Each structure stands twice: as C-alpha cells, then as structure tokens.
Structure 1
C-alpha cells in the first residue's frame, strides 16, 4: 500500500493533488435524480479538473455509479478511482427510525444492527463512505438537526456512536469488506450547541465545558476507528471550525490521534470569508489546509488555490507538505476500500436487488420502530386496546405515508402503510375521518356525531418530515395551534383519547398531555413505523422506549437537560420551602422541572427495583463498581426495560451535575419474573475535566442512583480511595 501511494504521490502534479482533495456534487456528473444538500450556484470546472477530482457526493445506485466510475477512469491520467459518498443517516432504502428515535431504544446492539443493514444496502448501491453518524451533543430542540443526534447525554451519545461505527464499518483491519462502508463522524465540533438553536450559528463555550461534556461522543467514535470526520459550520473558541488549528491539529489529530480524512461540510471553506477570517477563496483554502482539512466539499477553494499556484509558478514547501499529507490520507482510504484492485467495488445491479429493501431488513426496521417508541402517558391503563374495541381514527397524520423523517432521500413513502392502514388491519370496528383542519376546530356536535359509536378516539398529530433536519430551526417547538385546538375539541366529546405524536424533535407537550388519556411518541419511525405503532396499541408489543432528551414544560425553559451543573441556590425539593424562599434558582411563572425527564418511558408491565447492592463500598481508582440489582416484573405482561445507573461526586474541583449517566442495561423480564442483574462500571468512567483541562478521577465520596429514569430516588453511597 505504501509503495503504491508513494509512487502515485511522486507522479501527481500540484493540480492533480488538489483535485484529489476536492469533492463535487452529483450534478457535475450530469446525472438525473440527484439530491443536493447545500446551496447551489454551479461553478465551472474544466474537464481536466473533473477527471482528477477525488470524490463525489449524492450519487448512488449500482448501475449509475458503475457508469460514472467507468467514464471517469477512461479520462483520468493516473486512473485513481473516485470515492462515492452520500448522506445515509438512518438507512439507505430501508429506513429506520430517526437517530434520536433509535437512541430511545437504549439498545447499542440494535443500533449496530441497523447501521450494519444501512451499510450493506449502501455498499450494494455503489457507495464507499457515508456521512454518519452525527454525534453532536444536543440540548436544544429548537435546532432542527437534533433529529440526527443521540440526545443530551454524553455517555449515551458515545455508546451509540460506537455502535454505529461498528455497524457501518464492520471489523476493519487493513481492508474493508464489500458489505461495509467508511463512516464519517460529524460535525467536529460542538455544532449541537449553536446559539439559540439556530442553524449555522455561533457556538460560544469554554474549553472546559467542551472537553467535559461535548468531546466524549467524538472521542469514542474515533477510538472505534471512524475513517472520516466532518468539520462543523460553527465557530468554537472564537474561530470557525474549518480554520481552527487548535481544534483540528491539537485536539483532533494530536490528542484524539485521528489519522483519517477530515472533510469540510458543504462550502464551509468558502464560508470562511463570510465569517470574516479569510480575505479570499485562496486565503480560505490555505487556512483550511493549515488546520488539517483534507477534503473540500463544494467550495472550490482548493481549485482556486491550484490556479493561483500555477500562475505564481512556485509552490511554498509548507503547502507541498500539507498537500502530500492530505492526499496520502485520501489515497490510503481508497486503498483500504480496495478501489485500486476493483474500482467497481459493490457496483453490482443483481447484488443491489438482493440486498436492498429486503423483508429481513424491513423486519429489523419494524423491531427498531417498536423499541424506539416511548409511551409517555397511560392514564388508568387505557392501553393496550383489545381488537374488538370500537375506535375512531382521526388527525392530520392518520393517513400520512411519510413517516420516514428528514435525511431519508432514498426512502419510498408510497410503499409505506399509513397509521390508518395498520390500525384497520388490527381492529374490527374502525371509523376514520380526516377533515381539513385548516381552522383547527370542528363543531363539537359534529365531533360527537363522528365519534358516537366509538369507545376510544386515536388521533395522529405532529410535524412533517420537512420540519426537522438541516435548516429547520424553529423558535416554538410545539404542535401547530390548529392541532392543539382540534385535540382540545376531541377532549370535550368525553371520549377516551390516545394521541400519537410524530416528530423529529422534542416538543412542548404540556397541553397535549392534559387532553390525552394515553400519549405515544414514535418519533419518525421509518419504513415500518405504522405497523410498529399498531402493534404497540394492541399490546402485541410492550413499549420499552426511553427518552434520550428531556421534554420541557414550556418553551422558556429551553435549553433544559437533566445533567446541568448545580448552583449555589438550588431548590430544596420541598414545595413549601421553595415557594416561600424567593432567592433560589427558579422561575416565578413555571416550575424548573421537565415535563418528561431523560430516560423516562412507561411500560404495560410494572417494573420495580427491589434491591441494589454494591459489592464493595470502597473502590480503588483503578477498580470497578460492581452492582447487583434485583429487578422484578410485578405484572402479568412480559416486557423490556432499561436499568439506568447515575453517579454524583459529592465534592469536586469544578462544579458537577446532580447526576450523570454512567451505565445502562436493557433487560427482558417475563410476567411475574424477578432477576438479579450484575452491572459493572469502571471507575475511570467517573473522570471529569479539572481546571487544568485534564480529565481524571478524584478520591472522595460519591452517590450512585439506580432506577428507570434520570429522576430516580433510589441511591447508595460509596467512596473512591
């Protein structure tokens, strides 16, 4: 491999090297049906540049990719194959729940399995690398890309990032197999903390906060072997990420030991001019190269640098060195993918037909949707419903086929069942109505007539796919007013109401909760989402999803997350004392607390933690917390739940959260079954960032919380010695 790459580097001109570091979108290859994921404004590219470029994004399909690769190689001087990349965020053609939904499963093995399927489908369609997973820690539902995230907790984020990388890439040593693709971790760094939840906006936080809370997801993904990292659009520590040498050279390359490809996001290098840190495209290109950005996605800054260097006739030695380092990394990935031996790797139409959108894949998609659905309310155990229950189905999303969510560009919504389809297959007596809700209300007498014969009304509300994802920031993450009015009117009929919420982000559901007897959150559940919803409503599947983000009571609480730092004037927990004392950290018009906390989710079964035992209450800094947790299912229904373990350090060098997740374990208990579950937590997981920015574990007193949500009260003390 080294000899091949060294020989190619020796033969390449400066222009060819820079072309290898440039990525063009699909429309430059004159193919129909392409999807663009950034602003357009097509720039002229010469034939020589086009047939020297290193990679293309947005093209897929074995036949199309093979045709483009063949034509490219025919015109390429050095015959270096193209890399094909695309956004495959939660499935290629088999669409799984959005990543925030999958995070609700609290199931690393399931996440790995969905990534494995997405990789196999993508590779069969000619893709070599995909822009996933997104491991930005997100605490603000106003940010539309929260749907791509694993939520607000560093440990859960890191665990699922690791699972995704394993699924996408497989067990790579020095060569990928044909069923896997290279994964790209995005967006480095801290993009999920954009001010005001506004897309492309500034991030302003201390390096202490970044290292203590935001870095873990990226670090664990890189440790797992991710081959690419994508820069973020935002500034961090006052410098745009794409030109941030401290962030990219010191933290990413040196500290995290990342030696793969660093690729810009769409036009991020060119946007350094808009940030005001570069005077021209070529100035931006030099700054990005110095920061270590190997690949320029759609800004043409590297192309313009090549033109400038050609005119000047002399290339600074520093630029040559930077170019050689970056080109080496690009060629190394192509070698690992086996493209020099087979430039048409995976581009087989028959194999694509065999591997894509299979029934086995769809079964996993349905399982994922079932385990990602969170039961938020179930007053008087209304759910599950018996098949002979007379129901009325209504709401703007009851006949909606697009349950896929954003970033599902290859998903086919026409093949999806609607919620109405799925429920009509389960219940004998079903009435469906979906009148225009433009005014948000219907005459109460009309509603009473339409629901007269039903025992339960099931109403499907929520947002559309285009209302989450990139460039969909909103100031009011809640249901449209007309939907709330409709739900309120339904409530006035006196019927029992089951509300289904389809969404790509946490919403303020305070009113929805008030007017619903049962409340089900499937997120955007994917290709088999409607079937999963129906199975949960009938009880064929017992819901086990847990929230990966806190849901606020009111918009003014945002950002709201369970693991915020303690203050000097916290609430005491006593309603009377907290009301009497004005000088506490609180609102005067709303409670501090969430509506639904991180880790929360109901079940049809009745789970209880009966006993928690720490094997040792004094543990060495290089040791482990070994727990025995007795859990019982005190019901006649089988079910899964998630044991969640949180710790708190009583006295530390820097302020600490009241609790932080350190371990979770998904378990299955049959009806009336009890088990003792062994759980091991390495003490190294209790490390935090000190004032000198080093991360280490302190000796001292700690508290361990064990339960089924972040607000669990069961605790036990221990000491690190």
Structure 2
C-alpha cells in the first residue's frame, strides 16, 4: 500500500546516524511512554524517555483548570529535559500524546466537536478534514505534538461502551472518513507537518468494534477476511493518508491478545500493509498479554509493539526489566533497533528536532482555542449530524414566535451533551461553568424563540403553571456521560427499570401539548416507548460544545422559511425490538425500525406507525432476576454519593471526593477505575450510598424471591467497630444491618464476597416497593474498604440470613 508520506533517503540516513550513537539504556528509554502524573522533567532526562501522555482527566500539576500557558510550560520543560546532553548522551526530543478525540477535550475553553457517531451521520468526509485541522491547531497551541485520533473502529454491537467513538457500523463510511481526518491533523503533500500540523494515530488495531457481546477489551471472533473487510477498512485509508502511528488494541482476535500478536502487528500491519511509522500500546495494554505484567513484557515488543504505554506509577521497573531483557537477548537487539528507528523516523518527519514547543508557530496563540472559526465548523457538524426519526404532522421545524417549554436534564447541561472524554475521562464532574464560550441546547432554543418575540421557559421536570401552558414542549434527555469499559451495556433498553424521562413525555402529552424529543446518545437504543410518547423525535447524538446549533434545525427562520434542513442520516441501524441485540447494514436478516441511511427532511412524509411495539423479550415486562447496582460505575438510575454526619452529601462525579468523615476514590481492580475505595477517618459517622434521583423503585419481588445484597469488597484497615449496611426507602424509612462480624476475619488486601439476605432489612418500617437507596455502608470508626461489583439477586453460597429482629440501628 502506497502512503502519501514517502521515505526520504536523507532522513533515513539521519535516523541511522542517531541510532548508532545510542546505548541500550537510551534505546529502551525511547520505547517507553509514561503518564505526566507520574513523570517529572528529571525523569525524562535521566531515563531518556521517548514519550509522555496525558490520559483522560490528567492535567499539568493535576489542575483541571490549567491554562494553555501551563500546558506549554510543562511541554517545554519535558522537551528541554529530553534534549539535555549534559550526561554525555544524545538529546532526542520527547513526543507528547493526548486523547483529543473530539477537539482538544482536556483543555478548558476548547472547541468540542460532536463525537464520531454524530460525525458519521453527517455523511460528509470533507468536513472531517476541517475538523482534523481545527483540532490539531488547538492542540498545537498548548505545545503537544501527537493526537491519539482518529478511532477507526467499525462498531457492530451497540452494547459496546465505545460505540460513539466509531463513525459507523459500515466499513465503507469508516474508510471514507479515516484518511480525511488524518490529512486534517497531519496535512498533505507540502503541508505535511507544517504549522499547526501534528502526528495522528489510527486506533485501535484491530477489531475493537467487533468483540463478542460488545464487551470492551473482549474477543473478536471472526475470520481474517471479515477482520479485513469489516474492521480493517479505516486503516487502509489512514495508511494511504500517511498516518504515522497506530495504537494496538486491548481486544483479542480469536483468543489472541492483539498486543501480543506478531502476525497482526508485524506480518500484516508492517509487512503486508507497508506501515513504516510506529505502533504504540494502549493504557498498560501489554500487561494483558499471557505471561506479562505491567512491569515486564518482552512478548509484546517481540510481537511488533514499538512503544509501551506505561501509564502507571511503576514504569521505572518496566524500564529496568526491559533493559535486562535486551541485554540477555530475550528481546533481540534487531527488534529494539527497529522500534527505535520507527520512533526516530516519526519524530524527524514531524519536525520535533527543529524547535522546542514554546517556539513553534502556534504555541501560545490562545485566541485559536475556541475560536469563532472553529466553533462555526463545530456548529456545521452539529446541524448536519441531527437525524430526524419521527415528525408527525410535520411538526418540525417550529415557528419561532411561540411559547416553548424546554424540559429534560440534558437541556441546559453542556457536560451531558458533550459526553465522555470531556475534561475528565468519563466526562463526569463538570458544570456549565467549565465550558467558557460553549452553549447549551437550551441557550440556542431561547435565543431562536426570543429573536422573533416568542418565549422559552426551562423546566427540567416539565412542570408549568396552568396559565403558562406552552404551545410546544421540547424535551432534551438521554444517556449520561461515560467512556469505554464503563459504558458497556447489558441491555439496549433506555432507562430500563426507571423510565423517568418517559414519565415526563407522557405527562406533557396527557395535557395536550405537542412533544418534541431531542435525544442525546452515544448509540442507537431501544426507545420505542419514548418515540410513541413524542410527536417528533430527533437524535442529536453527543453534539459537544455547540449545543445552540441544535436550534438551527428545530426552528424555521423568522419569515417562516426553513432555516437549516434536517440532513443527518443514520450511520448506525436503529433496532426494532430488544431481541435484535446486533443488527447491521447488509445483514441477511435485516428488519430494523430505522435502516442505515434513514433520516427525514423537513416536509418529508412520516410513515412511522403511531404505536410502536413496546414488549420486552418474550412478551415479558418483568424485572430482571438480578438488579445490577454497581459494575465499574453506578448503573442507572443509581448515583454514588458520600454523606457526612449532618446528612450533607457529595455525588461522585470525578475520581476523588472528600469529607472530614469519609473520602472516596476511583481505583483499579481488574480494569481502569472499576472499583471505589472508601476511607472513614473516625471523625464522625460517614456513609457511601447508591441512591436514585427523585425516584423510588419496586424491589418487593426481590424480597419475595429471597434475594440477597451481594458485594465484592476488600478490607485494608479495620478497627472492628460496627459497619452498617443500610437500605433506604425515603424519609424515616430505612433498615440497617451490622456487617462487622462478616468482615472481621478478612485478610487485609484480599478480595472477598459477602451476601446478605434482603430479609435482614425487612423491618416494619421498610417499604420494599419504594426503595430509594438499596446499598449504603456507614461507620463512625476508622475503616479502609474497597468495593467493586454490587447487585441484588440470587443468594450466594454463604448468604447471611437473619430474622427481622436482628436488624440493627446505626449510631449517629
């Protein structure tokens, strides 16, 4: 395959000269990339590190509000350290990588473009080049060299938590887009790696969108032909456009981890496809290769990985072990030299030797970040991405001179409309104040209506005074932010179990108000009930920072003419039933609710049935046998909070929160941030609780089935004092059970499971039909505890049962 970036003989000679002067230690340093949280400039100098990265939610000095200048200062410090030759060794510039996956999404004030699933709906490859270019320019302002984008996954199972990172389920569209994004980031021809052009990455190689059951980091069980024809097409166009780095994938292919696959990384990617850049690992991805650990993995280098992503604190052990493995011959010198050659080639092509970050053309040009030019590109992308699925009686577009009620928790919530990978890794913990220059969807609706003398009122729950009955209600709702593993779903039913948004829709319709649904989502979901309860239904995906652009298609011009037509078309198939767990274009049996490419324009006839089927699988609407409460994250509708002795609470929206009585942190057990560590200080009663927002769920069937509360936990410090498991059902409605005897004998640092019969909470004042918080742990004593999976379901093998009188009352 011929690349637009060709090898240059003079550059290749320079690479060889540099390589010949490097020691084993210097070469090993080049193949290690570390996280800025765990890396000082002195580390870069002393270990001759080749690269650093900032992961999602990682900032200079761990300051979310770091200014562009602070980003540049850190980049400059790393660069200076990498070029320091005072120890007699050769200076080689560091390359800094960042997950700028929908704009420079780690920097406050940056332009945030729609996530890729929305861009796929635009069906506009030319726009992709503009977005790539704008993103690169904003990243260049902060002194960073390398963007971990585009994601070229062909997502086939929408249960996958990264579905929104893919442009389409169809490889044809993925191929059309991938090369254009690369050209936008890196440039093309004479503009390659010019001012504001950076190194791009095609990821994740290969098959990440095709895992069995849509499980992130799972196994893709397909033939090599299907792997190529479905999951490989984005790499063809990306390599043709000259992409300089490829990121290896966490997933396996037919049981073999891609980080350890010599056949795929070397034989296919480098030899058959002709890739001459370098392959970088994903977040500690090498540690999942059989026989490897976070600090030792010669297998992955020998397979063809060129750069470890050693994103944990103990990267120095990996460095030392790798040096020993080269010295012993376990990693052949030829393989190490090839890896370093590839890294040097990319650094020279990108011009990193030419000038330090602070002296590059766009460095410090803060007016570029969030510029009007870039925001207009983002607004165009939002307008073109919105897909109109239902439009009874041609309700949309609306006139402007009307009374509009705007409801739903997504209406005035920029963080929610931006989704995951937004400032924080999961996209949580942000407020509208964290998005200077951005607009919410409500901002746009209000401006449009008021420009023609109408009135827009915001009411999250859809309530209004009788005298203020609106002409129409626009309800903005959908998925809360998530990223990768924590976004995996077990059902595509929207708000299964609670249907809180459906209640708002039905309430408005019952009052005779036309209802427009604006759905925020990172994937197609089964929303038949919500569509039935809407007169018009538009999918806005995850539009990013320019929410006001949604109103550009919802409303006509002041003179009544169409402002911007609905041009978005589905790049993912929309399911008809929940039995259609996987449904994609060109399937043999293809009976979708909305087919690939579907989308109404203004004035087009809506042929959708008035009452879509709302039956769950097998015609049963019964609750599932197990209520999953926490699995790497709190599952809807539950929110995780810590509570102090006065009853004040803090919802966990970031990766750490603290009160004097209790603190909570996101920690790793099996995967990144899949567990929560809770530490009680002993300075008063504190609690960690899973509770629903203005909602109570019926758990009486679980009580009748003799179900149990099941918790996986680890104790690191335990005073032996009472620790209460509590269940709440509203004010003055709770029950508690002391689990101290159950955890007393646990070995510190080891994981255990406990199972407590719901009968232990069945006291006279508890109403299991109105459970508001099914899980809480509280204590007044010092305690260090970590929990992961929490559920209510079948009793464990050693379930603790008790009579009602054994239920305890926690001391306050």
**Alignment pair present for 1:209 and 2:221:** no
Contact 1:207 1:237 survives alignment (8 Å): no
CA distance in 1, matches of 2:565, 2:161: 30
**Alignment pair present for 1:388 and 2:405:** no
Aligned to 1:425: 447
How many pairs were matched up?
A: 554
Aligned to 2:367: 354
CA distance in 2, matches of 1:397, 1:208: 42
Stretch deviating more after TM superposition (395-404 or 223-232): 395-404
SS state at 1:556 partner: coil
Contact 1:18 1:303 survives alignment (8 Å): no
State how 1:40-59 maps to structure 2 within 5 Å: 47=43, 50-58=46-54
The 3 A distance-change label for structure 1 pair 391 and 260 is: same
Aligned to 1:328: 341
Contact 2:440 2:546 survives alignment (8 Å): no
SS state at 1:4 partner: helix
CA distance in 1, matches of 2:524, 2:325: 54
The 3 A distance-change label for structure 1 pair 189 and 173 is: farther
**Alignment pair present for 1:409 and 2:446:** no
Q: 2:239 aligns with which of 216, 222, 236?
A: 222
Aligned to 1:547: 570
Contact 2:302 2:331 survives alignment (8 Å): no
**Alignment pair present for 1:484 and 2:502:** yes
The structural deviation recorded for 1:508 is 1.2
Aligned to 1:598: 596
Aligned to 2:534: 516
State how 1:609-620 maps to structure 2 within 5 Å: none
The 3 A distance-change label for structure 1 pair 281 and 363 is: closer
Contact 2:119 2:381 survives alignment (8 Å): yes
Contact 2:421 2:483 survives alignment (8 Å): no
CA distance in 2, matches of 1:158, 1:524: 22
Q: 1:191 aligns with which of 208, 213, 219?
A: 208
The 3 A distance-change label for structure 1 pair 288 and 553 is: same
SS state at 1:230 partner: strand
State how 1:360-371 maps to structure 2 within 5 Å: 360-371=373-384
**Alignment pair present for 1:563 and 2:578:** no
CA distance in 1, matches of 2:260, 2:47: 28
The 3 A distance-change label for structure 1 pair 451 and 397 is: farther
SS state at 2:219 partner: coil
Contact 2:448 2:551 survives alignment (8 Å): no
SS state at 2:448 partner: coil
CA distance in 2, matches of 1:392, 1:139: 37
SS state at 2:365 partner: helix
CA distance in 2, matches of 1:232, 1:497: 43
Per-residue CA deviations over 1:110-136 (Å, capped at 9, x if unaligned) read: 111111110111122212111100111
The 3 A distance-change label for structure 1 pair 51 and 14 is: closer
Q: 2:18 aligns with which of 8, 22, 32?
A: 8
CA distance in 2, matches of 1:419, 1:399: 6
**Alignment pair present for 1:472 and 2:484:** no
Per-residue CA deviations over 1:88-113 (Å, capped at 9, x if unaligned) read: 11111211111110111000111111
**Alignment pair present for 1:506 and 2:524:** yes
Runs (5+) with no aligned partner, structure 1: 32-45, 571-591, 608-721
| Alignment TM-score, normalising by the size of structure 1 | 0.72
**Alignment pair present for 1:533 and 2:551:** yes
Contact 1:184 1:230 survives alignment (8 Å): yes
The structural deviation recorded for 1:474 is 1.4
SS state at 1:520 partner: strand
Runs (5+) with no aligned partner, structure 2: 1-10, 60-67, 105-109, 425-429, 557-561, 606-812
The structural deviation recorded for 1:308 is 4.3
Contact 2:401 2:455 survives alignment (8 Å): no
The 3 A distance-change label for structure 1 pair 605 and 236 is: same
Aligned to 2:90: 78
CA distance in 1, matches of 2:220, 2:363: 47
SS state at 1:477 partner: coil
Contact 2:211 2:220 survives alignment (8 Å): yes
The structural deviation recorded for 1:398 is 1.8
The structural deviation recorded for 1:281 is 5.8
| Alignment TM-score, normalising by the size of structure 2 | 0.64
Contact 1:296 1:302 survives alignment (8 Å): no
CA distance in 1, matches of 2:490, 2:522: 15
The 3 A distance-change label for structure 1 pair 536 and 64 is: farther
SS state at 2:522 partner: coil
CA distance in 1, matches of 2:439, 2:319: 52
CA distance in 1, matches of 2:191, 2:338: 19
Aligned to 1:256: 273
Q: 1:155 aligns with which of 150, 157, 172?
A: 172
The structural deviation recorded for 1:497 is 0.8
Per-residue CA deviations over 1:219-261 (Å, capped at 9, x if unaligned) read: 2211221100000001113210011011112211122111111
SS state at 1:426 partner: helix
Aligned to 1:703: none
CA distance in 2, matches of 1:477, 1:366: 29
**Alignment pair present for 1:268 and 2:285:** yes
Contact 2:407 2:474 survives alignment (8 Å): yes
Stretch deviating more after TM superposition (419-428 or 494-503): 419-428
Contact 1:419 1:531 survives alignment (8 Å): yes
The 3 A distance-change label for structure 1 pair 30 and 54 is: closer
**Alignment pair present for 1:316 and 2:341:** no
CA distance in 1, matches of 2:141, 2:287: 33
The 3 A distance-change label for structure 1 pair 358 and 487 is: same
Aligned to 2:132: 115
Contact 1:178 1:345 survives alignment (8 Å): no
The 3 A distance-change label for structure 1 pair 450 and 461 is: farther
SS state at 2:390 partner: strand
CA distance in 2, matches of 1:15, 1:104: 48
Aligned to 2:76: 66
SS state at 1:425 partner: helix
Aligned to 1:146: 163
Contact 2:137 2:362 survives alignment (8 Å): no
The 3 A distance-change label for structure 1 pair 404 and 451 is: farther
Stretch deviating more after TM superposition (11-20 or 165-174): 165-174
CA distance in 2, matches of 1:6, 1:185: 26
CA distance in 2, matches of 1:172, 1:532: 36
The 3 A distance-change label for structure 1 pair 470 and 116 is: farther
The structural deviation recorded for 1:209 is 1.8
SS state at 1:364 partner: helix
The structure, 1 or 2, with the larger RCO (C-alpha pairs under 8 Å, 6+ apart) is: 1
Q: What do you get for the CA RMSD once the two structures are aligned?
A: 2.7
Per-residue CA deviations over 1:337-389 (Å, capped at 9, x if unaligned) read: 11222133765676431322111111111111111111111111111111112
